[in-house]
Structure 1
């Protein structure tokens, strides 16, 4: 069945399909509301902060829900220790197969509870819990269905506007679902879960490769580990000695100018590429070092330095650096990525790296430029490997989105009716 056929209106529904409130679906699928399935629906309790502890039961918050997956992000998991006499929290004690939905702030993020979530576990007041009778429904299928764009539009359109945006439990119960026969629910959930496992494995591999790269940088850029065939002394030089500063090529653009200049050349700022414009002011291999707005702190992971090769436009929030003859551009770039520049920032209402202070930043480097080049080559190969994995992950994520569109609408059937 082609997409064009399935996209038809009420008068053009293809054989074997029917037009419903949730769109065109197979004839043997049903449309039901969440409430029709008689689930247990509730939300978390308030006042959990006093029970926070270093150890204890898992406490799930919106930050643990994942926009790109139904599986939870447990990297910043908090814990609570409930006294024996506290019964209110036990109302929301989670079980495998439960579905979580964020109901305040960033509404409609879906979570699915499985054995990866340490038990016992509870939720706060910003999350709704939906628990089905697992004999009659595959809750993982429902979780995937709730991620679909049509349902997400329902969440956005049903938001109660007020002091704080939110959605009530009656709206959760009114959600419409397209339900295939139980065997097909299981098959769809299994296939999508397999893809999610592949994405998760890629995430873990990418994280491992980044960790290895960080450790390698620590060893090679400090001279603690020397590459085979190299010896000799290292020296310490300031950026003023090692680089040319091309800040005279910086030109800011406001939003109106950028909108008028839409094109193919990167428009670069402190935090990376901001836009694409139809003109360029520099055509070179350069290092961009944030002047303000792009520094690491406990809340952000934005870059302090990045590379651009070729034609681009640079604004006035980033310094433009190029290695002087005799020093390797790639090596200096990795040194600046590794370097803590926070001590050089000017204090005030907004942290800023002035040019005079930037020039004082010192770099340790081997006197032999060939060793600089060799170190940079090792790190560059690592970057390429990580980039290839990230590209594969993005492709897999796109494939998953396409599969969801096909499987959760019945366009592609895993089990013939």
Structure 2
């Protein structure tokens, strides 16, 4: 149903569309080389230009695949429809075939269309226009036939302005989050190396020497198996979310039907996949009392009284730990780090009181980071709900009113 005063259009009626240049062997090697946008450079509402690749464009292609302000660049594959509006003046950057370039014919504001695409992402409407092979694709033919419920330009402008208020709040919160994360990294670098010493409970600065040990003195491998089949919660470990249910990550349960040989991990214990420790897939189980991990995983605990678990968890995410883990994979099969290899890593051990103090200070930083992330998530949910109202016409905005 089209709201009163709106019209139903197809993308092909509203935009000139073009796919980017095909990346081939000649384009990779021939000079001169020019930067181009790929799928990973396009995020919702913004571009990430920190890691641009290059290829050859001839003079005709430089004209054909150049960008002008207000062009929309959209992902053809992967997260189909993900798009942003190009506003980079003076940046000579081009785009490859994995991306659609949409140039408005004048009836639609690019920022309105970007918001519209974001609002239908993951819905049946967009899914019906998506071709699915090994990965999802939004072909040019399907994209051009995609329907758009279109308000007047005046109402579009008002909607874009309202959504921009949420975008600004989200951006501000994300910048604060990035700052807090950087501050924590800097604090970790000082505290976990002993460059900065904290005050003890008497107000005196810790001064004792840190003992040089190997992790084998501080860790115990846990080898319990699910022989009695009493546990059925199968988990995996990711480098971004820690312990997760596979069905949350892959939309379906991917574990074997028979989990009797799976390893048991209990609350407070650690788990990791030996072939992915070098990319940060490591976590402590905090969310559940217990769970199961594939037999390939390593499960271990820290020796209480010698090593503070919170201190160790922070150390494992430090640059020092990451460098030592990467160094330990040299010459190993598939960069694998088994429990024995982990135990051989050198470790500087403060006294328990200092470990706990350091962990307590870093925990305060973690709290700030968690609060900011929750604020960002809430703002995004508010924006999503607002988009569902404004971009469907359920709530109307008029030129002379704020909102109806």
TM above 0.5, one fold? yes
Contact 2:212 2:349 (C-alpha < 8 Å) held by counterparts: yes
Aligned twin of 1:352: 336
- Of 131, 134, 140, 2:111 maps to 140
Contact 1:234 1:364 (C-alpha < 8 Å) held by counterparts: yes
Q: Aligned-residue CA RMSD in angstroms?
A: 3.4
Aligned twin of 1:73: 48
1:80, CA displacement in angstroms? 6.0
2:374 is the alignment partner of 1:391: yes
Using the alignment, how far apart are the partners of 2:207 and 2:310 within structure 1?
20
| Range with bigger deviation, 341-350 or 142-151 | 341-350
Deviations 1:383-417 (A, max 9, x none): 11111111111111111111111110011122269
- Of 276, 293, 309, 1:329 maps to 309
2:75 is the alignment partner of 1:102: yes
1:160, CA displacement in angstroms? 4.7
1:166, CA displacement in angstroms? 4.2
Q: Across the two proteins, how many residue pairs are aligned to each other?
A: 369
Using the alignment, how far apart are the partners of 1:103 and 1:282 within structure 2?
41
Give the TM-score taking structure 1 as reference length.
0.77
Secondary structure of the 1:410 match is coil
Give the TM-score taking structure 2 as reference length.
0.79
Using the alignment, how far apart are the partners of 1:284 and 1:270 within structure 2?
17
1:86, CA displacement in angstroms? 1.1
Aligned twin of 1:194: 165
Aligned twin of 1:13: none
1:50, CA displacement in angstroms? 4.0
Using the alignment, how far apart are the partners of 1:128 and 1:402 within structure 2?
27
Aligned twin of 2:277: 295
Contact 2:223 2:264 (C-alpha < 8 Å) held by counterparts: no
What does residue range 37-116 of structure 1 map to in structure 2 within 5 Å?
37=14, 39-47=15-23, 48-50=27-29, 58-66=35-43, 69-78=44-53, 86-115=59-88
1:197, CA displacement in angstroms? 2.6
Unpaired stretches in structure 2, ≥5 consecutive residues: 200-204, 248-262
What does residue range 144-183 of structure 1 map to in structure 2 within 5 Å?
144-149=115-120, 153-160=124-131, 166-183=137-154
Secondary structure of the 1:178 match is strand
Secondary structure of the 1:236 match is strand
Using the alignment, how far apart are the partners of 2:12 and 2:98 within structure 1?
20
Q: Indicate how the Cα distance of structure 1 residues 165 and 230 shifts in structure 2: closer, same or farther if over 3 A, else same.
A: closer
Using the alignment, how far apart are the partners of 1:164 and 1:289 within structure 2?
30
Using the alignment, how far apart are the partners of 2:183 and 2:122 within structure 1?
40
| Range with bigger deviation, 57-66 or 137-146 | 57-66
